[in-house]
Amino acid sequence: MKLVFIQTGGTIDKDYPNKTKGWAFEFGEPATNRILENLNPSFEFEVITACQKDSLEITDKDRQHLVELINSQNTNKFIITHGTDTMIETAIYLGSCMKDKLIIITGAMRPERFSNSDAAINLGCSIAAANLLEKGVFVTMNGIVKEHTAIGRNIETGKFY
Amino acid sequence: MKLVFIQTGGTIDKDYPNKTKGWAFEFGEPATNRILENLNPSFEFEVITACQKDSLEITDKDRQHLVELINSQNTNKFIITHGTDTMIETAIYLGSCMKDKLIIITGAMRPERFSNSDAAINLGCSIAAANLLEKGVFVTMNGIVKEHTAIGRNIETGKFY
Amino acid sequence: MKLVFIQTGGTIDKDYPNKTKGWAFEFGEPATNRILENLNPSFEFEVITACQKDSLEITDKDRQHLVELINSQNTNKFIITHGTDTMIETAIYLGSCMKDKLIIITGAMRPERFSNSDAAINLGCSIAAANLLEKGVFVTMNGIVKEHTAIGRNIETGKFY
Amino acid sequence: MKLVFIQTGGTIDKDYPNKTKGWAFEFGEPATNRILENLNPSFEFEVITACQKDSLEITDKDRQHLVELINSQNTNKFIITHGTDTMIETAIYLGSCMKDKLIIITGAMRPERFSNSDAAINLGCSIAAANLLEKGVFVTMNGIVKEHTAIGRNIETGKFY
C-alpha cells in the first residue's frame, strides 16, 4: 500500500511561530509529518502540500487544483488534511468528479500542536480507512468513517455524524 | 455503532505514579479514556478492564477470561488494548474461537502518557477498522490493519507488518 | 511562602474551544492551574483572574486595576501571567508604584496547550524567583530574571534579554 | 551568565525506545536538551553527561566523579539533573566539598517524555535559582528552592519540603 497525504491547511496545521505582535497564528509544515514519525508506518507514503489555508477561504478553484494534483500522482489512495468548516463541501466536490480513486478527508478540532488535540486519532482513523477501502470519497472525524454523501455536521457543537 | 474497549495492560497503559523508590512504573486507568475524551466520539462506547498486565505475563487463562468477558457483553464490536510482545498470540487465540464477533487488537510502542506516543494513532486506526469491518480478529499497529492469520512482526525492530 | 498567581490573558492562556467558523481562538482558564497540578507545590497558593486579554489590548486602566487587585490581597508575593507584547510596559507601570511587594511577570511564546510550549519552564522560573526575592518588579522570560528597569526585548526575534 | 547542565540519569531522563521484550525503559539523551529548545535561552549554556543511572544506583564514587567533572569546567554555575531517591544525599555530599561554586540539583517525579511531567517546571525553577544565587548547593523540587542543609522529603508522598 502506498498513501499520499495532501496538506491543505486547516486547524490541524495551525502553529504558533516565535514572533511578536499579537495573534501570530500561522500554518506550519504538515502535522502529518510529526504524527507519522510517531507511528513509524509499515506502508509507503509521501506528504505533499496543495495549499495552506483556513478552510473558510478554500474556493472551488482550490478544489479543482486538488483534483489535478491527485490526478497527477501515480497512486490511488489519498488522505487529505483539511479545515473542518468546509470539509464536507470539499468532500462533495471531489465525490462528484473523482470516481476511481480512494480519497479520505480528515482534520482536527484542535491543532496537532495542542497536547489535547484530536489530530493523531483522526489521522489514525483515516489511515485504517485507507487500508480497508478501495475507492470513493470519505470523511473521518469524531471516530466515524462516512461517504461524502452520508456525512453530516451539527453546526452548534461542531460534531460530525 | 457501539464499541466496547477492553483494557488488558501493556505499554499503552504504563503510568508513573508519584512515589519514591526507583522504577515505580505501574498500570493506570485505561489510556483509552483520555484518548476518547480528545476524540469526542460520534458512536456509543464503553471502556472495561479485563486485566492490567505486561503482555509477557498474559497467559492462556487470561485469554480464556477475555473470551468469556467478550461473550458476556451485549454487543458485537470490541477493541482490545494489549501489550505488543504477545499481541499476535492473543490475536491467534481469539481468532481460533471467536467466529461471530469483530475484535480489533491494538496497543502502543510508547506509553500514551508520552508526548511522542503512538497510542492515539493506533487507537484511531482500530476505531476506523471497527467502523468498516463486520467480524473476525484483526491487529492494527504501525498503520496497517491485518487479520490474525496475516499479521507478522520483525523481532529486531519491533515493527508489525 | 504564599504565592498569588494573577491571570491577565496573553499567549500562555490561549485555548481552542470546540467550535465551528474559523479561528476560534479564545482565552481559557488559567494555564497556571494545569502547570501547578503537574508541579504539586510545597507552598501555599491561590490563582485569580484580573482579565483575559491579548496584551496589545491591555490599557493603563487594566494596569491600575492590577495595582488595586494586588493591594487588596493579604500577601506580598505575586506572579502575573501576561502577554509578551506589552509585558515590559506593564512591568514598568507596576514598578513605578508598587514598592513594597514582590511581583514577577511571566508568560509564553507559545500557548501552554502546545506540546512545545515554554509556559511551564517560564512559570517555573518565576516561582523560583518568588522564593529567592523579597520585593521589586521582575520579568522572567527566556530563562533570565531581570528587574523591570533592566529587561529588554529584541523586536525582530521576540527574545527577552 | 553561563550555565553547565549535567545529566546523571533519574526519572527525568527515562525514555522508552522502540524495542520488544517487556519493560524496555532506558535512559536517553538529556531531557534538558528538549526543554532548553522550547525555552530558547538568553544565556550561554552547555549540556554534558556524568552518568545515566537510576539514583538508587548512584554511589559515592559517582559523586566524587561529579566533583571532578565540576572542577574541570571553566565556569561557576551548574545545574545537575538527578533521580529523586538520593537527590538529597548527593546534595549533602557536594555541599560538604564544593564551597565556591553554585550547584542546583533538580529532577522530576514523572519522565520529561510524559505529557504531565513536572520536568520543565523544575528545570525552570533551577534556571531562575542559578540567575539569582552565587554559591552553595541547592535543591529545587515541588516549587521550592532550598539549601542542601535545609531540604527534606516526605517518604510517604515523595514530596520535597
pLDDT-based confidence at residue C107 (cuts at 50, 70, 90): very high
Could you tell me how far CA D63 lies from the centroid of its own chain?
A: 13
List pLDDT tens digits, range A130-152. 999 999 999 999 999 999 999 99
Non-local (6+) Cβ contacts of C155 within 8 A are A20
Indicate if the pLDDT at residue C139 is higher than 70: yes
> Which CATH number do you get for residue A118?
3.40.50.1170
Number of domains in chain B: 1
Q: Which secondary-structure segment (H or E) carries C53? A: strand C44-53
Q: Give the helix/strand (H/E) hosting B88.
A: helix B87-97
d(CA C62, CA C48): 15
Rounded to an integer, the average pLDDT of C55-65 is: 96
Chains that touch C (3 or more CB pairs under 8 A): A, B, D
Helix (H, G, I), strand (E, B) or coil at D2: strand
Share of chain B above pLDDT 70, in %: 94
pLDDT at A20: 53
- Per residue in A5-58, pLDDT tens? 999 999 999 887 655 555 557 888 999 999 999 999 999 999 999 999 999 999
Average pLDDT, chain B: 94
Window 136-155 of A, Cβ < 8 Å to C: 153, 155
Residue B8 region, left (φ>0) first, then alpha (ψ -120 to 50), else beta? alpha
Helical H segments across C7-137, by residue range:
31-39, 60-72, 87-97, 119-132
CA D139 to chain CA mean position, Å: 9
Q: Do A79 and C79 contact (CB within 8 A), yes or no? A: no
Which residues, in sequence order, are bridge partners of residue B116? none
pLDDT of residue D78: 98
Residue A108 lies in a domain: yes
C161 lies in a domain? no
CA distance D19 to chain A (A): 13
CB neighbour list of residue A46: distance below 8 Å, 6 or more residues apart: A2, A3, A4, A5
Average pLDDT over residues B63-77: 97
CA dist D107 and D123 (Å) reads 7
pLDDT confidence of residue C62: 97
Whether C98 is covered by a domain: the verdict is: yes
In a domain? residue D6:
yes
> Mean per-residue pLDDT for B17-25?
58
Question: What pLDDT is attached to residue B21?
Answer: 58
HEC-encoded secondary structure of A100-138: CCEEEEECCCCCCCECCCCHHHHHHHHHHHHHHCCCEEE
As beta bridge partners, residue A9 has A53
User: For residue C22, what pLDDT is reported?
Assistant: 52
Whose cell is 487465540? That residue is B93
CA C87 vs CA C76, C94, C95: distances in Å? 20, 11, 12
Phi and psi torsions of C45, nearest 5°: -155, 165
* pLDDT above 90 (res D156): no
Average pLDDT over residues B87-100: 96
Q: Is D160 domain-assigned?
A: no
Q: Is residue C124 part of a domain?
A: yes
* C-alpha cell belonging to residue C142: 527566556
Q: Which residues of A touch B123 (CB under 8 A)?
A: 121, 124
Residue B121: which domain range?
2-14+26-147
pLDDT over 90 for what percent of chain C?
88
Answer yes or no: do D158 and B20 touch at CB < 8 A: yes
Beta-carbon count within 10 A of B23 CB:
12
Q: Please tell me the predicted confidence (pLDDT) of residue C156.
A: 87
Chain C / chain D CB contacts < 8 angstroms: 123
Q: How far apart are CA A159 and CA B42, in angstroms?
A: 7
Residue D63 pLDDT greater than 70, yes or no: yes
pLDDT at position B24 is 56
Quick one: average pLDDT of B15-43? Answer: 82
Using CA atoms in the order C58, C62, C67, C71, what is the torsion angle rounded to 10 degrees?
-130
Chain C residues closer than 8 Å to D128 by CB: 124-129, 132, 140, 143, 145
Task: Tell me the pLDDT band of C10, cut-offs 50, 70 and 90.
Answer: very high
D121 contacts C123 by C-beta, under 8 angstroms: yes
**Spatial CB neighbours of B70, under 8 Å, sequence gap ≥ 6:** B6, B78, B94, B98, B101, B103
Cβ–Cβ contact D109 with B under 8 A: yes
**CA-CA-CA-CA torsion sign (B82, B83, B87, B90):** negative
Asked if C135 reaches chain D (Cβ–Cβ under 8 Å), the answer is: no
Q: Does residue B13 register a pLDDT over 90? A: yes
Which residue on chain C is closest to A118 by alpha carbon?
C18
pLDDT band at B36 (very low <50, low <70, confident <90, very high): very high
Q: pLDDT value at position B148?
A: 98
DSSP β-bridge partners for residue C74: none
Quote the pLDDT of residue B116.
93
Express each pLDDT in C128-138 by its tens digit. Answer: 999 999 999 99
Q: How many CB pairs under 8 A join A and B?
A: 124
Question: Do residues B10 and D23 lie in contact, with contact meaning Cβ atoms separated by under 8 Å?
Answer: no
Residue B17 has pLDDT above 80, yes or no: no
Q: Specify whether the CB–CB gap between C13 and C49 falls below 8 A.
A: no
Q: What is the pLDDT of residue A24?
A: 57
CB contact under 8 A, D128 and C140: yes
The mean per-residue pLDDT over the stretch D56-80 comes to 97
With 70 as the cut, is the pLDDT of residue B55 above it? yes
- What number is the average pLDDT over the span D10-20? 78
pLDDT confidence of residue B156: 87
Distance, CA of D56 to CA of D58 (rounded, Å): 6
Higher pLDDT, B27 or D117: D117
Residue of B nearest to C39 (CA): B18
What integer is the mean pLDDT of C111-125?
Answer: 96
- Contact status, residue C131 vs residue C76, Cβ threshold 8 Å: no
Q: Residue D79 and residue D43: Cα distance in Å, rounded?
A: 13
Q: Minimal CA–CA distance to D85: which of D102, D104, D105, D65?
A: D105
Mutate to test the interface with C, among D102, D113, D127 (most CBs of C within 10 A): D127
The one-letter code for the residue type at D96 is: S
Are the C-beta atoms of A104 and A79 separated by less than 8 Å? Answer: yes
Inform me whether the pLDDT recorded for B19 exceeds 90.
no
Residue C38 confidence (pLDDT):
97
User: What type of residue is C25?
Assistant: F
| Distant-in-sequence, close-in-space partners of C103: CB < 8 Å, separation ≥ 6 | C70, C78, C79, C80, C94, C136, C137, C138
Kindly state the DSSP code that residue C112 receives in the 8-state scheme.
Answer: T
Q: Average pLDDT in the B107-125 region? A: 96
pTM (2 d.p.): 0.91
Average the pLDDT over A103-127 and give the result. 96
pLDDT of D20 over the 60 cut: no
Which pLDDT does position D121 carry in this prediction?
98
- Nearest alpha carbon to residue A58 among A110, A120, A112, A7: A7
**Residue B23 pLDDT more than 70?**
no
C18 touches chain B (CB under 8 A): yes
Pick the residue from chain B with its C-alpha nearest to A154.
Answer: B42
The pLDDT, as a whole number, for residue D19 is: 58
- Of the two residues D77 and A24, the one the predictor is more confident about is D77
**Alpha carbons within 13 A on the beta-carbon side of A112:** 31
Lowest mean pLDDT among A15-19, D41-45, D86-90: A15-19
